[in-house]
Structure 1
């Protein structure tokens, strides 16, 4: 599989394909602010730092903190991985039991283009996936922004939600991460070959996007069907339905519940495809048997992800050179999935 497929967009059926546009022309055009729903307790063995970085990955920052503080990367915690070509703010933690941070910490980080915004002690390491949302401020330019239907596209996404695709950055340039994942799963996944689990995540993300695209194609990505597992808006709580009714359809229309898709792993596809939802998921091992089998052999457990995401606090502001959009998304959702509905860009192909 040398190239990623062109997955379905939700607005093409009503508004047609978007026109060409640009985003992230410079890091300042893509601002990300990670939001926790708790604050550090001001005591403990771990120093928590809220940092602002530019043109660096989260793992770049981890390596810098490891060197400056004299700890191993395993002693550093973070909740989410943030984009490189962006200005991003997020918390990281450093395990410093019984000692203070180096006196030159702030200056050393500043010299590397990393600003310390806040510091606090906490008893525990910052764990993956504990932040609640990411706030975004994005600048878009180009023909798509000047088109008369741009605001209608934006309003449709605000009112009806956005397909919760994993973004192109998950798959690497020209899909190279997916190629690496395929090769690793084919010979048998081992932890030592994939310390961060990124190859497993890449394979699961690809299969999820395939499923979501299929449900976009038949118009069921945003409304429940028989056998669906639904997720409550704003939580990870899920429940499975045997059939739909007027109440469930109304809740889905109000963005209160969302259909989910499988993140493939042990326990996926165990039931016979007797419902519409199961029939969709049963297509994955038929179309991509090596990926599904490799994931099951790796031992990663099956999970669920919402097929749709809701934009919270959405705002649009016109500028002389383009448009500034701001909104928040649940953790694990990608702003590039929003951008891909608004502009045509090589990254989104």
Structure 2
């Protein structure tokens, strides 16, 4: 499904605006998942970069350190059109760090360096902190503030963002071609498998948003613990489940497709199967199963933390929030209004 086809949970857009007019309008800072050990063969670098994606920064750091790119680790991918802070690890077995000043440039600066015992693995972060600036904002200000309050109170659908699907959403078509026999590079294969999985998840979530069950759960629901990948259920509805759902301790979940049976049951399972029964979905399902991926789950609901906003001028709105790893700031923006990406 294209982004335009995904239903919104909070109703019609409350405003229109432009963002990413400059990298400073989209600021992202990783929230570290651990502290450096203080010793070991891996140099942890906290860097700030402007207009540079993670892969390009990793390549530059590898050149600076005189190592292969495989010696560089990072926890998450960050967009090019942003001002970002994130950590990289550099494997230096001789424990001799090159001159840090040689890495400094107008678009990349080192904020901190520490020694650590292990390579920084993907996903090893607690989340990301965003500060976003919207410009040329049009619409009713009271309606926009009310929408922000609703997002803070109820959260938003936890869609995979457009970044997962490549330019013009082409990664899903590429995944179908790969499943049909087209050969691809190893790194591209991983990207296309993720896009196929994300497409199926978004389809299920779109169905749940359309019927209003994305935040309330159904008979046969599989529940996911907040801030965790742990799941439980199905189990009979109870006052305890209702209280945990209301306090965001648990969330309804949807399938990340792979081999094996769906864990959901009853109404929840019927909805998941019905939403993934067309020809395209069946081909994606079969390809993911053949590729050896296993059934997993992802929360259907996402609530931004520490959400605050400030009108910088009549038509400039700045707001900030925190999201867990794997969540997308663009899905929060989408629930607020029609936001045009000036960097596209």
Q: Do these two structures clear the TM 0.5 threshold for a shared fold by scoring above it?
A: yes
Do 2:14 and 2:140's aligned partners in 1 also have CA atoms closer than 8 Å?
no
Q: Which residue of 2 aligns with 1:241?
A: 234
Do 2:204 and 2:276's aligned partners in 1 also have CA atoms closer than 8 Å?
no
- Structure 1 residue 146 displacement after superposition: 4.6
The reply on whether 1:158 has 2:147 as its aligned counterpart is no
Do 2:258 and 2:293's aligned partners in 1 also have CA atoms closer than 8 Å?
yes
23, 45, 51: which one pairs with 2:41?
45
Query: How far apart, CA to CA, are the structure 2 residues paired with 1:58 and 1:20?
Result: 29
Q: Which residue of 2 aligns with 1:286?
A: 277
Do 2:41 and 2:91's aligned partners in 1 also have CA atoms closer than 8 Å?
yes
Query: How far apart, CA to CA, are the structure 2 residues paired with 1:306 and 1:22?
Result: 29
- Structure 1 residue 142 displacement after superposition: 3.1
Aligned with 2:89: secondary structure? strand
Q: Which residue of 2 aligns with 1:94?
A: 90
The reply on whether 1:194 has 2:190 as its aligned counterpart is no
The reply on whether 1:253 has 2:241 as its aligned counterpart is no
Aligned with 1:117: secondary structure? strand
294, 298, 302: which one pairs with 1:305?
298
Query: How far apart, CA to CA, are the structure 2 residues paired with 1:315 and 1:55?
Result: 25
49, 53, 58: which one pairs with 2:54?
58
Q: Which residue of 1 aligns with 2:268?
A: 277
1:187-239 per-residue CA deviation (whole Å, 9 max, x = no partner) reads: 2777x433571111111111111111100011110112111111122222211
The reply on whether 1:73 has 2:100 as its aligned counterpart is no
- Structure 1 residue 130 displacement after superposition: 1.3
1:1-349 pair list within 5 angstroms: 6-12=5-11, 16-103=12-99, 105-107=100-102, 109-111=103-105, 113-144=107-138, 146-187=140-181, 192-194=185-187, 197-269=190-262, 274-287=265-278, 288-320=281-313, 321-346=315-340
Query: How far apart, CA to CA, are the structure 2 residues paired with 1:325 and 1:4?
Result: 22
Q: How many residues align?
A: 339
Query: How far apart, CA to CA, are the structure 2 residues paired with 1:303 and 1:188?
Result: 26
TM-score computed with the length of structure 1 as normaliser? 0.91
Aligned with 1:110: secondary structure? coil
Do 2:15 and 2:144's aligned partners in 1 also have CA atoms closer than 8 Å?
no
Aligned with 1:255: secondary structure? coil
Do 1:224 and 1:248's aligned partners in 2 also have CA atoms closer than 8 Å?
no
- Give the gaps of 5 or more residues in structure 2: none
Change (3 A) 1:120 1:341: same
Change (3 A) 1:179 1:18: farther
Aligned with 1:323: secondary structure? strand
Aligned with 1:236: secondary structure? coil
Aligned with 1:261: secondary structure? strand
Change (3 A) 1:160 1:119: same
Query: How far apart, CA to CA, are the structure 2 residues paired with 1:73 and 1:268?
Result: 38
Do 1:144 and 1:342's aligned partners in 2 also have CA atoms closer than 8 Å?
no
1:288-321 per-residue CA deviation (whole Å, 9 max, x = no partner) reads: 1111100111112221111111111111111114
What RMSD in Å do the two structures reach over aligned CA positions? 2.1
Do 1:144 and 1:150's aligned partners in 2 also have CA atoms closer than 8 Å?
no
Do 1:132 and 1:330's aligned partners in 2 also have CA atoms closer than 8 Å?
yes
